[in-house]
Amino acid sequence: MSIQWYPGHMAKTRKIIQENMKLVDIVIELVDARLPRSSRNPDIDALLGNKPRILVMNKCDIADPDLNESWAEWYASHNIAVVLVDSISGKGLNQIGPLSRELLKEKIERDRQKGIVNRAVKAMVVGIPNVGKSSFINKFSGRASAKTGDRPGVTRGKQWIRIRNGFELLDTPGILWPKFEDEEVGRKLAYTGAIKDEIINTEELACNLLVFLRDNYPDKLMERYKLDSVKEKEGFELLHAVGKKRGCIVSGGDVDTFRASAILLDEFRGAKIGRITLEKPE
């Protein structure tokens, strides 16, 4: 997969995140619940150091409910505070306040001894492209959120969003990069739309996705495309079958596999095939 981030760009992003991190009490790391491992930045742990963190499994509404639970347990067992969130409906967002105060209880207690109470929790959101950072910030902050403006002496012109539940959010999220070098990771990211289609071979991608669905969610695949059987069928065969069912036929009667691929990927991304998670915890 020929996807490259320029090292200079990566270094710059890292520097921005590191600078912003000094200004916040807690980091809210968003991952895609359909890809709880591959949608994480591999250097995130080193980048965050000891900074308190909440891991938000976003888009939980379109991920496999059973695997949502398994992943949440997996993260909890690795001492990472985790919340399942749907940033469209807002589900799960109400857990973030109490969880943050729990994680920050020592700091809150130190503040209290100094006579400071009810100080807003300063947070920043980080995550890879398309994971839902903007949606999360909008929903979490509420429509009527007000920018608190520049804070002289604290930041160089950074904007904070003060929100009703005792938080101040940095209004620009930290954009992290996923681990593109690993072909399997790249493919999974592409299934979800986190990588632009123009730079990938969509037919190859669709075939790979069909093989994954055949092996992991055969019933959903059969149901969606009214297929009698998917067992032992190769990816391209499945793509043909999907194309046929969807009337992707070119003159001469051949299946337009390019169009079929676009349909499949589109329907996968829109969760029309069902709630699917692309990886399991170890």
CA–CA gap between residue 109 and residue 103 (Å, rounded) = 12
- Contact positions with ligand GTP (CB under 6 A) in 156-175: 175
DSSP letter string, 11-44: HHHHHHHHHHHTT-SEEEEEEETT-TTTTS-TTH
> In this complex, which beta carbon is closest to Mg ion, that of residue 171 or of residue 256?
171
Q: Which of 34, 133, 214, 224 binds ligand GTP (CB under 6 A)?
A: 133
Range in contact with ligand GTP (rule: CB under 6 A) among 105-113, 128-136, 216-224, 251-259: 128-136
Q: By CB under 6 A, is residue 86 in contact with ligand GTP? A: yes
Side chain identity at 27, as an amino acid letter? V
Q: Which of 135, 145, 148, 155 binds ligand GTP (CB under 6 A)?
A: 135
Contact string (CB under 6 A) for ligand GTP, positions 38-67, x = contact = --------------------xx-xx-----
Closest CA to 40 of 193, 194, 169: 194
132, 86 contact by CB (below 8 A): no
From residue 239, alpha-carbon distances to 29, 181, 184, 204, 206 in Å are 36, 27, 20, 10, 7
> In this complex, which beta carbon is closest to ligand GTP, that of residue 13 or of residue 135?
135
31, 125 contact by CB (below 8 A): no
**CB 129, min distance to Mg ion, A:** 8
> In this complex, which beta carbon is closest to Mg ion, that of residue 133 or of residue 139?
133
Count of residues that interact with ligand GTP, criterion CB under 6 A? 16
Q: By CB under 5 A, is residue 134 in contact with Mg ion? A: yes
Q: By CB under 5 A, is residue 141 in contact with Mg ion? A: no
**CB 184, min distance to ligand GTP, A:** 22
In what helix (H) or strand (E) does residue 54 lie, and over which residues does it extend? strand 53-58
Is beta strand 53-58 parallel, antiparallel or unpaired with respect to 26-32?
parallel
Q: By CB under 6 A, is residue 88 in contact with ligand GTP? A: yes
Closest CA to 210 of 182, 180, 240: 240
Chosen from ligand GTP, Mg ion, none, partner binding at 29 (C-beta under 5 to 8 Å by type): none
* Contacts to ligand GTP by CB under 6 A: 58-59, 61-62, 86-88, 127, 129-135, 175
